[in-house]
Amino acid sequence: MATGAKNYGLISMIMVILAMVPFLMLYEMKKPQAREWIPLAVMAAIAAVGRAAFAFVPHFKPTSAIIVITAMVFGPEAGFLTGAISALASNLFFGQGPWTPWQMFAWGLIGFLAGLLSKHGLLKKKRQLVLFGIACGYIYGWILNIWSGAGFVYGLSWQSYISLCITSLIPDGIHAAATVIFLLLLSDSWGAKLRRVKQKFGILAS
Amino acid sequence: MTEKKALKTESGLSLYHPLVSFGYFVAVIAGTLLFIHPYFVLISLGCALLSAAMINGKKMFLASLGFGIPMFIFIALANPLFNHRGATILFYLFDNPVTKEAIIYGIVSAGMMFAAVIWFTCYNTVVTSDKFIYIFGRVLPSVALIISMTLSLIPRLMAQIKVIADTQRSIGLDWKSGSLMHRIRAGARILSILVSWALEDAVITADSMRARGYGQHKRSTFSIFRFGKRDGIMLSIIVLLFAAEVAAYITGAGTMEFYPAIVAPKTEFIDILFYIAYAALGIIPAAIQMKEELKWKQLK
């Protein structure tokens, strides 16, 4: 095997794409009906549009909050799908690039975790929601830092990864703050809207 | 945005089967990300810029340069600041050594990222979202359908946002003025109104789809793609050149030592062959485009 500069860029990118496959297969195997997945397409589109609408404040995006709210109502698999698709779709505005799979995975994971936590009743209190909102900003930022590290710096080391995370503390903090603000502003009313649609049309009931 | 794309006449690589054009970009972007090697990066970047200039149109090409060049500079500077490996220390910055190896590595990897970004802009022009969905619809049909639905919803939602924002402004809730918190609140309000509208609309769409027999048969696609002889030949060429890339990586021709000290890239006969094969892969979009333009001029 080659002895020169090991290339983490491509390897990490292939790994992150493969990491998404089980989540997507999980959803695919459910053979979802149209009315089950259409609300997810709507929410992913709104998350993408929201990201573009708030582009006037750097790093301040409602996308994570919208994904979390959707996942809280529709569950972990649906949350992953909504997150991944909103990243893919919003890059229509921001440009696709080698970062697209990372953003898909990061937002997918946020959706999956939100669905999982909510399933076990861990996102009911406002305090829990605020904590998770803060976590979202950093989960997203730290996953994307893996890519920055793999792409830019030879031999991705813990030291360089940690220094990348330190440099991104403020942008990730703004993202975390945005997520908390939007969760507090929207979670009750949007949650009610989504639950109403879910109940009215019997989505995921059968 | 999608409308603009539809208006542009298709040419060159766009006319091939999605499997060919998608496969091409997988091969060329994989190669770009695989080789942190000055010659390979130079070849990839040169071919990417040439292809982008020929297929993306002037405005988009300049926009991608406007994004790519600052990114190139940023990465080239970031590497020696974060990475202190290498034998030749040039000077100390805030007590950290800045090495010649890290600077050169930074320039090469910045060139690699620059090339990857430019290739992606070409990908966006050639592999339109209907082609992407055509390919993924075979493997993950439901997921591909959700993606296609999301993409079709976005322009409709954008139009609706404008309507809602105008209405809100007329009752004094303008999201474009006032304090930041006011703007955020007003923006969130617009999105909330949008959600109510879109969800109701969507479930009706779903019922309408079911009434028309969605899920009863295999889905057809909007665009009809036929895999012809020309596609077969082109795909074989791409696969062959991709195999050469993999061989270059395995034999070590595509990798280079940067640390602790730089070893000059090899220029033996076999290495030259690998460079040529890689350049041949990179030149494909530009070559097809040029061939078409020549033919057009001759026929005129």
Alpha helix segments (H runs only) across A29-99 = 34-53, 63-74, 76-94
Q: What is the DSSP letter of B228?
A: -
Q: And the tokens for B170?
A: 């007329």
Q: Is residue A99 part of a domain?
A: yes
Lowest mean pLDDT segment, chosen from B154-168, B199-213, B281-295: B199-213
DSSP A104: H
**Amino acid found at B239:** V
* Distance (Å) from the alpha carbon of A172 to chain B's nearest alpha carbon: 18
Query: SS in 3 state form for B75-133?
Result: HHHHHHHHCCCCCCEEEEECCEEEEHHHHHHHHHHHHHHHHHHHHHHHHHHHCCHHHHH
Does any domain span residue A206? Answer: no
Whether the pLDDT of residue A143 is over 70: the answer is yes
What are the boundaries of each domain within chain B? 2-133+226-299
User: Given this model, what pLDDT does residue B92 score?
Assistant: 75
Residues of B with Cβ-Cβ distance to A28 under 8 angstroms: 140-143
Interchain proximity B143–A154, CB inside 8 Å: no
- A vs B, Cβ pairs < 8 A, gives 204
Tell me the C-alpha to C-alpha distance, in Å, between residue B31 and each of B85, B125, B130, B230.
Answer: 26, 20, 25, 24
Q: Is the pLDDT of residue A194 over 60?
A: yes
Could you list the residue range(s) of the whole structural domain that residue A194 is in?
34-200
For the segment A85-99, what is each residue's pLDDT rounded down to a tens digit? 999 888 877 777 778
With 0-12 / 13-18 / 19 or more C-beta atoms within 10 angstroms meaning exposed / middle / buried, residue B253 is: buried
Integer angstrom CA distances of residue A193 from B77, B138, B212: 48, 34, 27
Measured distance CA(A171)–CA(B11) in Å, rounded: 41
A155 pLDDT band (50/70/90 cuts)? low
CB neighbourhood size of B69 (10 A): 11
| Spatial CA neighbour of B131 closest among B5, B223, B7 | B223
Report the CATH number at residue A166: 1.10.1760.20
| In the predicted structure, residue B3 carries a pLDDT above the cut 60 | no
Among A32-41, A46-55, A59-68, B152-161, the least confident range: A32-41
Of B41, B16, B18, which Cα lies nearest the Cα of B278?
A: B41
Separation of alpha carbons B115 and B33, rounded Å: 9
Nearest to A39 by CA among A81, A96, A89, A90: A81
Q: How far apart are CA A205 and CA A199, in angstroms?
A: 8
- By the 8 A CB rule, do A158 and A142 touch? no
- Give the integer Cα–Cα distance in Å for A197 and A201: 6
Cross-chain residue pair B207–A98, CB shorter than 8 Å: no
Instruction: Return the sign of the alpha-carbon dihedral for residues B36, B42, B47, B52.
Output: positive
CA B202 – CA B195 distance, rounded (Å) = 10
Note the Cα B107 to chain centre separation in Å: 21
The torsion region of residue A125 among left (phi > 0), alpha (psi -120 to 50) and beta comes to beta
Q: What are the DSSP calls for B19-46, one per residue?
A: HHHHHHHHHHHHHHHH---HHHHHHHHH
The answer to whether residues A66 and A86 touch, using CB atoms and an 8 Å cutoff, is: yes
Instruction: For chain A, give the number of residues.
Output: 206
Q: What confidence score (pLDDT) does residue A151 get?
A: 61
The amino acid occupying position A2 is: A
Confidence of residue B6 (pLDDT cuts 50, 70, 90): very low
Closest Cα of chain B to A49: distance in Å? 7
Residue B1: the pLDDT is: 39
Residue A138's pLDDT is 94
> Phi and psi of B25, rounded to 5°?
-70, -35
Strand partners, B89: B99
Distance CA B34, CA B264 (A): 18
Which residue is closest to B263 within chain A, CA to CA? A4
Q: What percent of chain B has pLDDT over 90?
A: 28
Query: Would you call A35 an interface residue with chain B, using a CB distance cutoff of 8 Å?
Result: yes
Q: Name the B residues in 172-231 with CB < 8 Å from any A CB.
A: 180, 183-185, 187-188, 190-192, 194-196, 198-200, 202-203, 205-207, 209-210, 214-215
Q: Which of A10, A66, A201 sits opposite B203 (nearest CB)?
A: A201
3-state secondary structure (DSSP) of residue B15: helix
Name the residue with tokens 């009215």: A200
Q: Which of A105-109, B132-136, B265-269 has the lowest mean pLDDT?
A: B265-269
Of residues A2, A96, A197, nearest to B203 (C-beta): A197
Closest CA to A40 of A10, A90, A84: A84
- Provide the 10 A C-beta neighbour count for residue B155: 15
Please identify which residue in the block is written with the tokens 């339109």. B128
ipTM, interface predicted TM-score of the complex? 0.85
Cα distance between residue A133 and residue A63, in whole Å = 11
Domain-embedded: residue A10: no
Residue B136's pLDDT band, with cuts at 50, 70 and 90, is confident
Instruction: Look at chain A and report how many structural domains it folds into.
Output: 1
CB under 8 Å to A192, separation ≥6 — which residues?
Answer: none
The CA–CA distances, whole Å, from B101 to A10, A58, A167, B110 equal 22, 34, 23, 14
What pLDDT does residue A6 have? 57
- Assign B89 a pLDDT band (cuts: 50, 70, 90): confident
Half-sphere exposure of B8 (CA within 13 A, CB side): 19
pLDDT of residue B2: 41
* Residue A141: predicted pLDDT: 94
Residues whose CB falls within 8 Å of the CB of residue B293, separated by 6 or more in sequence, listed in order: none
